[in-house]
Structure 1
């Protein structure tokens, strides 16, 4: 069996209609009327209004659990940056102050004794590292 390459297709047998028929005259009149009335200029002015992004969270009241979860995420981010700083030998005094302040804020809101104990340890470690900076 022989396989042949692609063939050139023949010309289309469908007739092409000419533009500018009876229906296009009505459309042309509508376009001309719209441009004369200035509607297009007004539409361009609307285009220049900037969009304002809105978050649904901005309208919802956050529960104490949601607030605690957000604060925990912030603290974990600070601790992760601290860990990376320790690995790279570049812990900043500013990051230690942020951690100490965040922990102090969260400790006052914590109800769980185990969580308070963990927060105390984190704050103590941050204070020790800050004391090392002061000795330098």
Structure 2
């Protein structure tokens, strides 16, 4: 995104000078009770708001590196969940809370990165999580019969 200068410094200097005597005379006239109103141009405030809006828009935009970090974080979270599930099953403990966390992680919104290799790895991890969840749900249904 290219940001260009919105206001010339030459124009602001030229408009700031009111008379050869300086601004003191104009200020004195204003205090003297002059009833004639002079039009005031407020384009400077608008330029500032536009600049702030542009900066806020730039801050809200995610860069590719941040999207990649989010995708990697999701992959690590899923792998850690699978490891925890394996430990729960080997120890004979209750795998219910781990299953719930894995389902939540799998259903959460996935950040797309621009790296096709990373996307492929995340796809494989998600598929493995889905397979494990399906196997455990099938085993639970059989044990309830």
TM-score, L = length of structure 2: 0.40
Structure with higher helix content = 2
Q: Bigger relative contact order, structure 1 or 2, given CA contacts below 8 A and separation 6+?
A: 2
